[in-house]
């Protein structure tokens, strides 16, 4: 059986390397630097481990797990613009089994994907405004907000305080749009007769404008 040709557009997980001192994003610690590479024997298997250092944390990741862990380069300034635009799009989050939903939230955070985390933040913020946050959802919401804030502040070389305010402002704008949209929808529905009312109206119109049948003349008796 012939071997399947390798897609040249896909990177080989085993051959991707980062330079020591390079700034990257590791989902569990956020923006960090590759501090070094250490050869470690773990459970009888020797492998290169990449050491990522953030402000208050240090993480070791085996080379074979770099892609799986979601380690990536920071967003570009163009990416940041898209994130802020994405934050302002109104959403109507749905509810499912609490445990399953919580696990899905955790998986999103573990992915380190800024777009997925932005969507998660919008959903949780909307639920918070509706007083529907449950359990540890507020903690995840704050974690998502901090994750985006730290990376955007790094990319824009701005203070975290100013970026956090910008994120909060975008979320407020998003929710205002949602409320306004729902009000307009309710107003439109109120001004539009329902199907049942339309049937009643049509029936009344038929009664009002129906031409009465002429009375039958009695037969003449000769």
Task: Give SS3 for 205.
Answer: helix
Residue 40 confidence (pLDDT):
94
Domain boundaries, the chain: 23-65, 77-181
Tens-binned pLDDT, residue by residue, of the chain (222 aa): 455 554 433 444 445 678 999 999 999 999 999 999 999 998 888 999 999 999 889 999 999 898 889 999 999 999 999 999 999 999 999 887 778 888 999 999 999 999 999 999 999 999 999 998 888 899 999 999 999 999 999 999 999 999 999 999 999 999 999 999 999 988 888 887 655 555 555 544 454 444 445 555 545 443
CATH class of 77-181: mainly alpha
Nearest-angstrom CA–CA distance, 195 and 181: 23
**Separation of alpha carbons 1 and 125, rounded Å:** 53
Single pTM value for the model? 0.76
Q: What is the reported pLDDT for 131?
A: 92
The structure tokens listed for 155 are: 């990319």
- Kindly state the tokens that stand for 146: 């901090």
Where in the chain does DSSP place strands (E)?
Answer: 23-26, 30-42, 45-53, 58-62
Measured CA angle at 170 (ends 90, 176), to 5 deg: 50
Backbone phi, then psi, for 37, in 5-degree steps? Answer: -130, 130
Question: Strand pairing partners for 31?
Answer: 25
């Amino acid at each position: 059986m012939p071997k399947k040709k390798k897609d040249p557009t896909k990177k080989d997980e085993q051959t991707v390397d980062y330079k020591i001192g390079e700034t990257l994003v590791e989902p569990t610690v956020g923006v960090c630097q590759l501090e070094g590479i250490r050869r470690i024997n773990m459970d009888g298997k020797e492998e290169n481990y990449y050491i990522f250092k953030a402000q208050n944390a240090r993480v070791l990741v085996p080379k074979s797990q770099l892609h799986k862990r979601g380690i990536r380069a920071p967003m570009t300034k163009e990416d940041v613009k898209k994130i802020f635009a994405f934050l302002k799009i109104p959403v109507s989050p749905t509810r499912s089994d609490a445990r399953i939903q919580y696990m899905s939230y955790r998986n999103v955070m573990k992915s380190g994907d800024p777009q997925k985390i932005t969507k998660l933040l919008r959903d949780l913020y909307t639920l918070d405004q509706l007083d529907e946050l449950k359990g540890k959802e507020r903690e995840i919401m704050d974690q998502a907000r901090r994750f985006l804030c730290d990376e955007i502040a790094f990319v824009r070389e701005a203070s975290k305080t100013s970026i956090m305010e910008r994120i909060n402002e975008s979320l407020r704008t998003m929710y205002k749009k949602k409320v306004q949209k729902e009000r307009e929808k309710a107003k439109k529905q109120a001004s539009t007769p329902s199907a049942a009312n339309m049937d009643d109206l049509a029936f009344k119109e038929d009664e009002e404008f129906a031409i009465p049948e002429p009375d039958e003349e009695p037969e003449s008796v000769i």
